[in-house]
Amino acid sequence: MVLEDGRYFKGKSFGAQGEIIAEVVFNTGMAGYQEVLTDPSYCGQIVNMTYPLIGNYGVNEADMESKKIQVTGFIVRELCTWPSNFRSQGTLGDWLEKNNISGIQGIDTRALTRHIREAGSMNGVLTTNDESMAALQEKAKAAPHMAGQDLVGKVTCEQPCDYAAPKEKKYTVTLIDYGVKYNIMQELANRGCQVRVVPASMSAKDILADNPDGIMVSNGPGDPAAVTYAIETVRELIGKVPMFGICLGHQIMGLAYGGKTVKLKFGHRGVNHPVKELATGKISITSQNHGFCVEEKSLPQDVEVTHVNMNDMTLEGMRHKKHPVFSVQYHPEASPGPHDAAPLFDRFINMMEK
């Protein structure tokens, strides 16, 4: 694997053969690799796992967070070829090969992580082809960078559809799909919500025509500033019904308020990020996956910052002072990760009740 600044790592391939070019990022989770691989927010990225042993418990249908693998490539220190778990339905390597996803093992993943932390996330080439390091570096430098890319079109649903009906229907929620994870919809269904999933391109008028009790603005990949149609749609929806945004949805809400987003040096990806709620002082350990954030100083006066990241003090949550609208940068549905932030779904339910 060759980075665009010339740093390279040699290892052993697994999964599919060939060559891919994408942004290289790292995830610090010790488990949850299948959820990471199937999270649409990772579309267009090569993910490096910092925990050295990956694949130990295999893969299974129940841990999918979308209908397919979403990452472009996968990097691990040591791949387990003989998983041991009663839920396992196959090996990680076979699964990647079946789905035509390239991986590399046997490299110093922590050295790669330290390099990205110091130099920032950048493009890389992952290849089994025999080419010079200089040629591969030039390919990485010439490839499009994440900033300015709208990747939502690659992961959103094509037509409106209903998620599995709850046991007892209490509310109807329209979820705008920018690359939603299954467990977000499941958390809503567990609380009595009938979830209607709609494409990212659906207009505000058509969304409101269903007369939902609330609107969920989902997570997703890419640069939020590039998803201009989504920003306009969310701007038109603010104040109409209760709204809850997560991850990319949070960033799009910030842009819809009139704020700005910036690209972080290496992003937040993992399951152990401490976030402080300013109103209570409570600190939650959260699951995160993002490379952009809302710039706090850019927000208008009618938007209040509610949460901050305790590692770098970046904005992690906000709410509108006049309308029942709030959002968080992290993932309260976890999968993988701790469930500290799950009560945020209850907050959304309470808004719809009122």
Q: So which residues are the catalytic ones?
A: 247, 331, 333
Q: What distance in Å separates the CA atoms of residue 229 and residue 95, rounded to the nearest whole number?
A: 35
Are residues 127 and 18 in contact, defined by beta-carbon separation less than 8 angstroms? yes
Beta-carbon contacts of residue 246 (< 8 Å; ≥ 6 apart): 184, 216, 217, 218, 219, 327, 328, 330, 331, 332, 333
Task: Please report which helix (H) or strand (E) contains residue 152, including its range.
Answer: none
| Residue in the block written with tokens 């990205």 | 116
Based on the number of CB atoms within 10 Å of its own CB, is 148 exposed (0-12), middle (13-18) or buried (19 or more)? exposed
Give how far Cα 121 sits from Cα of 30, 329, 350, Å: 21, 19, 39
Are residues 274 and 285 in contact, defined by beta-carbon separation less than 8 angstroms? yes
- Secondary structure tally for the chain: helices H, strands E: 9, 19
